[in-house]
Structure 1
Amino acid sequence: MYNENTIFIIGDAKASQNNPITKKFNQFFLAFVVDRTDGKIIDVECSATVNLTIRFIQSIFINRFMDDPIIVEDINQRYFGASQKALIVAYQDALKKYQTITALSK
């Protein structure tokens, strides 16, 4: 399904205590499949409790690049779920891991 140039990265964050995600998963997870050669996001999944949330988050990330400087701005302007802050933190965590991985491979 994914070619040999792809890598898997997961970022995590704490969601608020009253969030259903916290009750089900304890944390918010955001998993990426990224093309190592250019940083393009091939696929993404998250620990949401509603499938529509997962699909909407996929629409924000898929076919963009991990280091796209306006992803956080897009999340702030488009995603108004209770886990907005957790989504941003999980993305930033995954981005740091991506940057470490790509720096090691240079």
Structure 2
Amino acid sequence: MARTIYVTGEAKSPSNNPITSQYGLFFVGLVVDTETHAILRADCTAALALTVEFVRGLLEGRSLLEEDALVETIIDRYHGSSQRAMTAAVRSAAAKYRDLVDGSAGTTA
């Protein structure tokens, strides 16, 4: 079975967005396969279930190490009011993931 980790990213969403009043920040949660770097599961703080479903379709199956390609896809396809927050949250999660992967490169099991 592939080794997986859970990583989150967060960003400030627009003040007029329901996400801000409901959660305070926009969060994305990702389950990532550390061998392939593929995003296996994705979730986010969204007011609509359809948004969560759409975000899953954008992220799942993609490599978290291909951060720029993920952000480009979000910009091209997601036109909700939290687009900037979503891209920032994905960048935040990718940075955390890179730190985890780089930090564990020198450790042994």
TM-score in terms of structure 2 length: 0.92
Q: CA RMSD in A?
A: 1.0
- Superposed, 1:13-52 pairs within 5 Å as 13-52=11-50
Tell me the residue number matched to 1:79. Answer: 78
Gaps of 5+ in 2: none
**Residue identity (%):** 35
1:55-98 alpha-carbon deviations (Å, 9 max, x no partner): 00000000110012311111111000000000000000000000
Q: Measure the CA separation in 1 of the matches of 2:10 and 2:84.
A: 11
Q: Measure the CA separation in 2 of the matches of 1:26 and 1:33.
A: 22
Which 4+ stretches in 1 moved above 6 angstroms? none
Q: Measure the CA separation in 2 of the matches of 1:89 and 1:70.
A: 13
Once the two structures are TM-superposed, the CA of residue 16 in structure 1 deviates from its matched residue by 0.5
TM-score in terms of structure 1 length: 0.95
Gaps of 5+ in 1: none
